[in-house]
Amino acid sequence: MLGTIVNALAIIVGGIIGLLFKNVIPEKISESLLKTTGLAVIAIGITLIFRGENFTLLIISLILGTIIGETIDIVGLLEKFRAYIESKMKNKESNVALGFVTCTLVYCVGSMAIIGSIQSGLTGNHDILFSKALIDGITSVSLAVSMGVGVIFSSISVFVYQGILTTLASLMQALLSEVVVNEMTAIGG
């Protein structure tokens, strides 16, 4: 759970920094930070891919994931959910809700949340979640500048989501071999 706790705290700290310095941080720097964290996520994903040994399984998983994702229109559903929440909040609270929902989706949907939590629960290795914490903390600075305090509240969702995954993974530890864990990590990357 250490990785999950650090990740949630990084979001809180980043959000507070963003709120405190929102009048000081230029929009150009905020946008550049988001682009930089995006590149970091890509680099980490590429690194994780090479942990696996079965590239056929990786390719099949990518193809199936794409087909399933496009068939059920995951991105469209998430966008509709965000738009629904935004439409229900007409006043100042809408910015809080928008920040909360947007950041919850950004921080919980990616493979680093899933694979990092599983790795943390199975092996006690928190490296992926520590990297995710750094990325999420920096992202929180940028997003809090534009979305406000809702960014900080998303740390609760991250803590609960990753905490559940970590706990479930630790309960399944005896059932999964190191080879299976490596392949899951590669596919998640």
Q: Is the pLDDT of residue 32 over 70?
A: yes
CB under 8 Å to 52, separation ≥6 — which residues? Answer: 58, 182, 183, 185, 186, 187
Cα–Cα distance, 31 to 44 (Å, whole number): 20
- The residue with tokens 């990785």 is 3
pLDDT at 71: 86
How far is the C-alpha of 9 from the C-alpha of 167, rounded, in Å? 19
Per-residue pLDDT tens digits for 76-118: 877 787 777 667 666 655 677 778 888 888 888 877 888 888 8
